[in-house]
Amino acid sequence: MISSEDVRHVTFDKAFQGYRREDVDDYLKQVAQAMDDLAAQNDDLQKKLVMLAQRIEKYRTMENSLSTSMINAQRMGDSIIRESKQKAAEIIRSANIKAEDREQRARDDVDAGQRQEIVTLKGEADSFKRSLIEMYRKHINLINKLPDYTRRPRG
């Protein structure tokens, strides 16, 4: 590959009826300058290419990090939903057990109240029976104290 320095230092043999030396030297200077400009532009583009490659690598790293974060967030979300459903089921199960327990206690309380009411009614019935029997005794005693007015046959 020819460099701009090669173009600047090239020499040509003199020949009869050749090109004008000043024109060739000016043109070679222009070519060398153009090659320097292109080399500088190429260097600049190479630096930009390296920077862009670094940015791309940085973006890929960020993309991988974001992807990993999204996957982890999705897993965490799924885990939270699963745990929430389990906890909700557990709360419902616990609430049903408590409700059944309270219902049974209420039934027991009603049964105990009914049994107590039955005991009270039986007591009242026994008391009424005793007072009725006592009243009948008093009536029988009163009847027995009444004189007997029936005629006795004479005999």
User: Which 3-state string (H, E, C) describes the chain?
Assistant: CCCHHHHHHCCCCCCCCCCCHHHHHHHHHHHHHHHHHHHHHHHHHHHHHHHHHHHHHHHHHHHHHHHHHHHHHHHHHHHHHHHHHHHHHHHHHHHHHHHHHHHHHHHHHHHHHHHHHHHHHHHHHHHHHHHHHHHHHHHHHHHHHCCCCCCCCCC
**Residue-wise pLDDT tens for the chain (155 aa)?**
788 888 888 877 777 777 778 888 888 889 999 999 999 999 999 999 999 999 999 999 999 999 999 999 999 999 999 999 999 999 999 999 999 999 999 999 998 888 889 999 999 999 999 999 999 999 999 888 888 777 666 65
Cβ neighbours for 7, distance < 8 A, ≥ 6 positions apart: 28, 31, 32, 35
**How much is the pLDDT for 18?**
77
* pTM: predicted TM-score of the whole model, two decimal places: 0.44
